[in-house]
Amino acid sequence: EPEVTQTPSHQVTQMGQEVILRCVPISNHLYFYWYRQILGQKVEFLVSFYNNEISEKSEIFDDQFSVERPDGSNFTLKIRSTKLEDSAMYFCASSEAWVGNNSPLHFGNGTRLTVT
Partner 1 sequence: KNEVEQSPQNLTAQEGEFITINCSYSVGISALHWLQQHPGGGIVSLFMLSSGKKKHGRLIATINIQEKHSSLHITASHPRDSAVYICAGLSYSGAGSYQLTFGKGTKLSVIP
Residues of this chain, 41-100, that bind partner 1 according to CB under 8 A: 41-45, 55-56, 58, 89, 91, 93, 98-100
Selected from 77, 108, 113, 115, the binder of partner 1 by CB under 8 A is 108
Query: Closer to partner 1 at the Cβ: 47 or 115?
Result: 47
| Smallest gap from residue 81 Cβ to partner 1 (A) | 25
Query: Closer to partner 1 at the Cβ: 16 or 100?
Result: 100
Long-range contacts of 46-53 (CB under 8 A, 24+ apart): 46/77, 46/90, 47/77, 48/99, 49/75, 50/98
- Under the binding rule (CB under 8 A), the answer on residue 36 touching partner 1 is no
- Under the binding rule (CB under 8 A), the answer on residue 104 touching partner 1 is yes
For residues 26 and 108, give the distance between their C-alpha atoms in angstroms, rounded to a whole number: 10
Count of CB atoms situated within 10 Å of the CB of 65: 18
| Smallest gap from residue 26 Cβ to partner 1 (A) | 12
How would DSSP label each residue in 42-94? -EEEEEEEETTEEEEE-TT--TTEEEE--SSS-EEEEESS--GGG-EEEEEEE
Q: Which residues sit at the interface with partner 1, rule CB under 8 A?
A: 41-45, 55-56, 58, 89, 91, 93, 98-100, 102-110, 112
